[in-house]
Amino acid sequence: MQPLYLKPGEEKRILKGHRWVFSNEIASSLSEYEAGSWVQVYSAKKTLLGSGYINPSSLISVRLVCQPGQTPGKDLFLTLLRDAKRRRRQLYSDSVCYRAVYGESDGLPGLVVDRYGELLVYQITTLGMAKMETLIQELLVDIFRPQAMVFRNDTQARVLEGLSLVKGVAYGSLSGEHWASIDGIEMQIDPLAGQKTGFYLDQRDNRTALLPWVKGKKLLDLFCYNGAWSLAAAKAGAVEVVGVDLSAQAIAQARNNAARNGLDACCSFIEQDVFHFLKGLSKGAFDLIVLDPPAFAKTKKSLPAARKGYTDLNRRALLALKREDLLISCSCSYHLSDEIFRDVLLSAAQASNRQLRLIEARGQAKDHPVLLAMPETSYLKCLFLEVM
C-alpha cells in the first residue's frame, strides 16, 4: 500500500474514530494514487492512523477500514461480516429480518446489507468496495446461506464515485412473491423494484413504539409506502387506519399486505398527493397522524427549500388534529439536523396556532447503529408529539 500523508492538524477527527478523509485534508498529491487502491494514512508527523481505499476524484478521498496493524483482505472482511451478523442476532434474537451491515458503523464503508429471511439484498456505493464485490458476494453467501441474493447498486451516491447504476440477482433465483415476517406482520418484499432494498427497516423500532398509543384510535399514515405503519397500528387495535401515498405501486402493495394479514377491514389506502389530501381534511378526523416523508433535503443546497416543505407539511397536519391528539413526525434528511427539525416543528405549531409537547424523541432502528465519532451515520429523526 502506498503511504498518504495528511496536512498538519487534520488527524484529530480521525483519532476520535471518524472514518473519512476529505481531499482538502491531504498533503500528498492525489494524482499519484490509483482509484480504488488501498493506502496507509499517516499524520503530518508520520504517525500511522490506519488504512483504507482511495478515490482521488471524490470529495471523500479515503474511507478508512483498517486500524493500525490490521491488513485488508479476506480474513478481515470475514471477521467484520461475522461480527455484524452476531450483533444483529443479539438485537433481534427472534427475527431473521434486519439490516445486517450498516456501512461505517460496522467497519465496512460503502456496504449495506439487508436480510429478509432467506433473501439477502446488498448495496455497494463506493469504488473501493465495488472492486471487492466478488469477495463480498462470496463471504455473504458463506455466512448467511441465502436462497437468493440481490444487488441494488442503483443509488445516486454511486454516480459521485464514477460507478454505473445497476441491479440484479447475484446468487440463486427469484421466483414469485417474497414475504417476510417483521414483528409479527407479513410484508411483501420487492427487492428489485421496491424502495431502498425493498423495505424501510430503519423505522422498525419506531413502529413498535407507536403501538401503546393506537388502541381504539383513528390513525392517518401519510407517505405510507407499503403500509408498514398502518398495519402495525391496525394489528395493535386501531379502529380505523387510512394510508395515503402518491405511488400507485406502493398503494397496491399496501393493500396486498393488508389483505395478507387479514387487516383490510380496518385499513384503507388512497393514491393521492399528501399535501392535496391534507388540504381537504377536517379538524378531528383522526386521533393520530404519522408523517414519514421521503428526504426533502438530499443535499445541503436543498436545505432551505426542504425546510419550507417540512414546515408546511407539519402545519397542515397539525390543523387536522385537536388537543391531546398525537403527531408522529419524521425526517430522514441527514442535512436537516435535530435542531433544525425541532425549529421546523415549532414554526409549524406557531403557524397552526398550536403548541406541542414532546413525548419521545427517537431515531433509526438498533440495526442502524450510529458511530458516535461520525454524525453522518445518524440521519433519522422521529418525534412523538402531543398537540396542545
Q: Give the CA distances from residue 21 to residues 53, 66, 264, in Å, rounded to whole numbers and listed in that order.
A: 10, 13, 50
Cell numbers that stand for 240 in this block: 380505523
Burial of 231 (0-12, 13-18, 19+ CB in 10 A): buried
Q: What average pLDDT does this structure show over 207-224?
A: 97
- 196, pLDDT greater than 90: no
State the chain's mean pLDDT as an integer: 96
- 297, pLDDT greater than 90: no
Q: What average pLDDT does this structure show over 43-49?
A: 97
Give me the pLDDT at residue 291, please. Answer: 98
Q: What percent of the chain has pLDDT over 90?
A: 93
Confidence at 284, pLDDT banded by 50, 70, 90: confident
Give me the pLDDT at residue 12, please. Answer: 96
Phi, psi of 232 (to 5 degrees): -60, -45
- 365, pLDDT greater than 90: yes
List the catalytic residues. 332
CB 39 within 8 A of CB 63: no
Q: Rg of the Cα trace of the chain?
A: 22
Give me the pLDDT at residue 194, please. Answer: 84
- 379, pLDDT greater than 90: yes
- Give the span between the Cα atoms of 35 and 31, in whole angstroms: 9
Give me the pLDDT at residue 282, please. Answer: 87
Quick one: CA dihedral 242, 243, 246, 250, positive or negative?
negative
Confidence at 201, pLDDT banded by 50, 70, 90: very high
Q: What average pLDDT does this structure show over 183-193?
A: 94
Give me the pLDDT at residue 296, please. Answer: 87
Give me the pLDDT at residue 95, please. Answer: 95
Q: Which domains does the chain have, with CATH numbers?
A: 2-66 (2.30.130.10), 74-179 (3.30.750.80), 200-387 (3.40.50.150)
Q: What share of the chain is helix, strand, coil (3-state, %, to 5)?
A: 35, 30, 40
CB 265 within 8 A of CB 292: no
- 383, pLDDT greater than 90: yes
Q: What average pLDDT does this structure show over 16-22?
A: 97
Give me the pLDDT at residue 175, please. Answer: 85
Beta bridge partners of 331: 381
- 298, pLDDT greater than 90: no
CB 333 within 8 A of CB 367: no
Question: What are the pLDDT digits (tens) for 133-184?
Answer: 999 999 999 999 999 999 999 999 999 999 999 999 999 999 889 999 999 9
Q: What average pLDDT does this structure show over 5-34?
A: 97
Give me the pLDDT at residue 265, please. Answer: 95
- 127, pLDDT greater than 90: yes
State if pTM tops 0.75: yes
Question: What are the pLDDT digits (tens) for 104-124?
Answer: 999 999 999 999 999 999 999
- 283, pLDDT greater than 90: no
- 342, pLDDT greater than 90: yes
